[in-house]
Structure 1
Amino acid sequence: MIDADALVGRAMALVEESFIAAAGPGGQNVNKVATAAQLRLDVFALRLPPEVFHRLKDLAGSKMTAKGEIVLTARSYRTQEQNREDGRKRLADLLREACNLPARRAKSRLNRVGKTARLEGKKKRGAIKAGRGKVSFD
């Protein structure tokens, strides 16, 4: 089992930040100042176990490039610092979620009475649907 907090710590050391012009709130300020934070993390540099890597890949979706980089853009706030913190928090949440093992699904076990009741219900429903067919007068 991988320690999620240790992974997040390693990831934050490897993350590359850049700032780009943002759309959204800020008026003329967004045209002058690069406030949106773009975070890039090379997932292969983290040396993740295969099952954690695959969960991370599924969770990241289109945020992960073909080269194995996760690219997050945070532009919700008006300042660079707030956007940087928002991006780092989102990235940390994504990594923690990938470390969580999904709960194993317990096989449901139906007793004999439940099974016969289910099959009886299916037969009734099938009879209703069979009665809806085209009427022929032959």
Structure 2
Amino acid sequence: MVLKKSWKVIEPTNGSTDLHIYEEYTEKEKQKYPYSQGIWLASVRNYHKDKQQENARLIAAAPDMYKVLKDVERVLGDVFETSNDDHQPQLVPILMKVQRAISKAEGMDDEESRSARPDVHERV
């Protein structure tokens, strides 16, 4: 017979921002360890309940932001290619930030990003 234990979440108290997850003890274990919360499973560091909605909205918007960023990269690249030399130095840092953000969203590290996207500095 397999006993299924439930989990419980202990929210931050006394100024702490750490949330702890425990597996509840069986009745026998509760008698043996009356002052314990249960079997510790995990902790979530710097948990802020008020940030949950903010993070959920950001995650929900991420696909749209990614598509827009890809459009911005294309347009900035076109402008960079057709602009005169006076404007190119202003475009370089912006285009590089856009490319880094896209690469990060695509799961690339810095080296993979450089090989996937030509270095803007080489075109200046």
TM range (shorter): under 0.3
Which protein has greater RCO, CA pairs closer than 8 Å, 6+ apart? 1
Q: Structure 1-normalised TM-score?
A: 0.20
Q: Structure 2-normalised TM-score?
A: 0.22
